Structure 1
């Protein structure tokens, strides 16, 4: 038998395949072929007819027995269209120097473990009732599993492509899998496309340490009912998840819907409207060079996770641009952004956040943004925690609704700093807003939306808007659940003083002492009342002047009618009622009248009253003046 002739025992139909291979034409009139005949053809590789290219293009054949091409080198391209297999084709460690294509084929499985395909490897519109095993497969150009249905036995993986290497794109759009898809440590030079793919089963998509040079597309109807594991993945371009539905399996620790911890994304994460996730989404320690868009997305752990897991756990997330959760974003469960960094802004305008199991609705403790934190018009059922936050631009809660029970925390802005904090909410929160030890450039609010409880101890701000007079702003300071705290009064007074409103500053400081008076024991309270009545705690010194004038006038009139008697052996100076009264009123001042004349009868008690009043008045004035000078 010549090398270019088929074996003698081959059937007529198998000989037709032989000749079609040599001429490079489609072989379509062979309904049934042996797998061993196919192997012999590809191993023997007869030379092509003159002017032709040898290749196996086979259509509509049923392959009986096993097609075993393990460790075989195939020179020409292999394309099988609408063929069926009795057994799993095996090409483990095979070398295919051209393209390999299975289109609309039916088979119980497929094994290409360790194989090398120089050009395209396409498994398109096929139906596989077992596992497609592509572990360590190397493809020079494109790898495609588009429109393929993989339905392995229960508990088996549908697609095992661990450590696969693809020189260009990996297309698996409209893939229908009822088992796990494994892409552990896979390396794809360009894009990974999973548009419209359906993955069911608890195992889901496992792709830890996945490397994609371009983008990852899980959009256009992508559905995953198991866990999507992208731990440590490196995506050079963007991740797109529009019109995507994810449902994590079961309950309990570790049962997530999407895990993308410690990942790197060179572009954006796009979701937009249509992203619905039932189960936790974990983006902790991930770095995104662009922005993260969750506009109109819905994250829900209310039914699938009755534990304390967050709906979105993005702690220590690093984003070069914005975090965009605008336009109808809904979360049933906590949004955890703890210690995250955003080069742009964090946007929650028009969002709705719902806390579960006593957790915060939004936990952004330690967050830093290069732009703003905008929560305009959003609704929160639960508390917001913004402790130790640094926002370069503004924190805005205008037209927001903070729904928390009375006396519970609605917003904690403890130890945080921002250029502008705007609290012009749609309605007054029943809960407490805590601004302790915060640093704010401009604090904007609306009297109609002042919360029932507000903690301002240690808060520092440069200015307030609207610029209300002190009598209208003072009720704002009396809402601390702990009662009287002096620092907020000092801060408000300092703000008025910087703006040149000294009268308002004094009114605030007087109100501070009056409020503090309620906390003092009775003797100190009486002394405080005396300082208030006489000199306004040192901030209203004209009161002392008028009081002195009144006492001086009264005393002068009385002593003019009932003059005292001269005392002593010498000649007393002429009696002057006004000077005598002034000598009684001013302690430590000797005008010569008091020691030269002594009143008698009822006028003695008048003199004692003037002396005592003078001492009290002088002491009060000195205390008030000392307090003002110390503050200045």
Structure 2
């Protein structure tokens, strides 16, 4: 009995047929699958067959199962927009598969296949699962799996030895189940700058793909919707894993995985919504940038024991990220590069206990504007070789640096319930607590750094209670240049004036205004005031304490500065030109200010000498009828 007769008899009763490597023409299979079925039990079940010719089932409707195992196709099957029942090519060698727009009423089983061409499932609708476990998709430098806009009612399983040398594209895919990449390997080398667009015309699909120059895209799940989770435990991906704008109803876990894309983004979750949380723990290694910019993470963000490496760049960039639970970076978490939590919002606590952040030439931890509903712990052996910046942070509980090894800490304008500054050793850089608001402040005199900025610090309780001389030593560590200039009625005897500006005191209703008078006798434009300051001379004012002389200081022609003209020598306050010296060391002259007109009912004040003491109370304003 020849091969054709054996295939027809086995097909009629749905019996598996082992051909032992014999050749089967594709035209015979097309005749059986598209013709009238001889019995209700009809099914095509071939083992160890060698299919010659091209199997073309485009736009056909096949109502019986198509199961080919451990066989070989010499040309890629064409299933373009076909309607199929349960279909499988398990452990079969394929030069590719064209199934764009195909509809499968059941599973599409591609387990253990060896494909040297693209598996094209663009726009396919599969009622069951897509099974790719143990499959090898070998298309280096191109797209191995093209499943854009795929609609999958089950799971996508590509694990247990799955290997892809090329990109897995699932842009805008909809998966009712989960995506399983456990123990999978994906290798996607960077595209060449002059790489031509990738076309699929040889498979009947006229669309093209233009690769991004220099980008190595391993897994593309941008804008995908996955109702289950994305699982990549112990996976190895050389190239970018991208889940931008995706919606994941479960977890995204890469426990023990190795994600490598040096000098670029290793994992991108920008603006994604991951309801079940993000887990990269158990020794997960990320070489490249881990991005979660604008991501909403439900439940928890866990990086326990992970190793992130992107020297000179961002190891973790979670700017404007929203986490519904805690952020856990404990138990050996290591990052080489900057960890950025800029404007992040965390409903729970943030843990960095024992973490090691290495970025010696920049910022190790940037948490400017972070808002946490609970504590933020950078303690218990926490080490940062660069700055730790928490400007304008809002910590709902305790901000702790106990037993931490730090280079410098900047907490300008931050707010916390408790602040613990008992470092393991004095920070080598600056401790900036300017305008910090805290209820309880704990510190240790033995670990005070040499440079402490305390302007505007507000606290309720200091622990421990030290003697006043010790606290004065703490205050004395603030550099002189950063202190506020004291208000004094006379300038320093030598040296230039302080550069900190103090607003000129407002005119009382009884004082005259220089310049164009407005309602109430107030000057406009220059802001000149004729009354001396009641609290002393402003730091930038001339020695006489008279505001008009300073307000009418000329513009320095060499440097173009006005109000930065700083007198070095004491000028006499007259109505004629007076020599001044600008901070740029250029000699200029003061134009005589206009004569101040006294307000009705008030006496004018002389500006020939500084006031002897505080100004007397202003005279009441004259009535409009006077």
Same fold (TM over 0.5): yes
Q: Distance in 2 between matches of 1:70 and 1:17?
A: 22
- Corresponding residue to 1:83 among 71, 88, 91: 71
CA distance in 1: counterparts of 2:239 and 2:102, whole angstroms? 29
Secondary structure of 1:310's counterpart equals: strand
TM score, norm. by length of structure 1: 0.71
Q: How does 1:86-125 map to 2 (within 5 A)?
A: 86-96=74-84, 98-125=85-112
Unaligned runs of 5+ in 1: 1-10, 405-409, 488-511, 523-622, 624-632
Q: Give how far 1:155 is off.
A: 3.1
Asked if the contact 1:45/1:75 (under 8 Å) is kept, the reply is: no
Q: Over the residues paired in the alignment, what is the CA RMSD in angstroms?
A: 2.2
Cα shift at 1:70: 1.0
CA distance in 1, matches of 2:421, 2:481: 22
Secondary structure of the residue aligned to 1:311 is: strand
Say if 1:449 and 1:57 are closer, same or farther in 2 by CA, change over 3 A.
Answer: same
Cα distance in 2 between the residues matched to 1:74 and 1:81: 18
Tell me whether 1:60 sits opposite 2:51 in the alignment. Answer: no
Which of residues 279, 282, 286 in structure 1 aligns to 2:295?
286
Q: Distance in 2 between matches of 1:484 and 1:391?
A: 26
SS of residue matched to 2:472: helix
SS in 2 for 1:20: helix
Could you say which residue in structure 2 is the equivalent of 1:172? 158
Report the Cα distance in structure 1 between the residues aligned to 2:35 and 2:259, rounded to whole angstroms.
49
State which of 317, 331, 334 in structure 2 corresponds to 1:327: 331
1:613 alignment partner in structure 2: none
Match of 1:538 in 2: none
After superposition, what is the alpha-carbon deviation per residue over 1:357-408, rounded to whole angstroms, capped at 9, x for unaligned?
x431111101000011111121000001100000000100111001x3xxxx
Q: 1:266 aligns with which of 264, 275, 298?
A: 275
- 8 Å CA contact retained: 2:321, 2:343: yes
C-alpha deviations, 1:247-302, integer Å up to 9, x for none? 115x4xxx311111110001111111221111111110110111100011111112
1:520, CA displacement in angstroms? 6.0
What is the rounded CA distance, in whole Å, between the counterparts of 2:404 and 2:482 in structure 1? 28
CA contact 1:355–1:382 (8 Å) conserved in 2:
yes
- Equivalent in 50, 70, 76 of residue 58 of structure 2: 70
The correspondence for 1:318, drawn from 316, 322, 326, is 322
Contact kept, 8 Å, 1:478 with 1:484, in 2: the verdict is no
Q: Is this contact kept in 2: 1:67–1:90, CA < 8 A? A: yes
The Cα of 1:486 is off from its aligned counterpart by 6.8
- Residues 1:213 and 2:227 are matched in the alignment: yes
Deviation >4 Å, runs of 4+: 519-522
What is the CA–CA distance in structure 2 between the aligned matches of 1:129 and 1:442, rounded to whole Å?
A: 66
Shift of residue 54 of structure 1?
A: 1.6
Q: Work out whether residues 19 and 46 of structure 2, in 8 Å CA contact, stay in contact via their aligned partners in 1.
A: no
Measure the CA separation in 2 of the matches of 1:256 and 1:482: 44
How many Å apart are 1:319 and its aligned residue?
A: 0.3
- Normalized per residue, the structure richer in strand is 2
456-465 or 476-485: which moved more? 476-485
Q: Structure 1 pair 482/218, CA: closer, same or farther in 2 (3 Å)?
A: farther
Matches of 2:11 and 2:403 in 1, distance apart?
74
Query: What corresponds to 1:47 in structure 2?
Result: 38
Could you tell me how far 1:46 is from its partner in structure 2? 2.1
Change over 3 Å in CA distance of 1:123–1:469 after alignment to 2: same
Alignment counterpart, residue 372 of structure 1, candidates 344, 363, 375: 375
Within 2, Cα distance between the matches of 1:437 and 1:337?
21
Residue pair 1:206, 1:230 contacting (<8 A) in 2 also? yes
1:159-558 paired onto structure 2 within 5 Å:
159-173=145-159, 174-201=161-188, 202-219=216-233, 221-248=234-261, 251=263, 255-302=264-311, 306=312, 309-355=313-359, 358-376=361-379, 377-402=381-406, 404=407, 410-482=408-480, 485=483, 521=493
The aligned residue for residue 597 of structure 1 is none
The structure whose Rg is larger is: 1
Aligned to 2:498: none
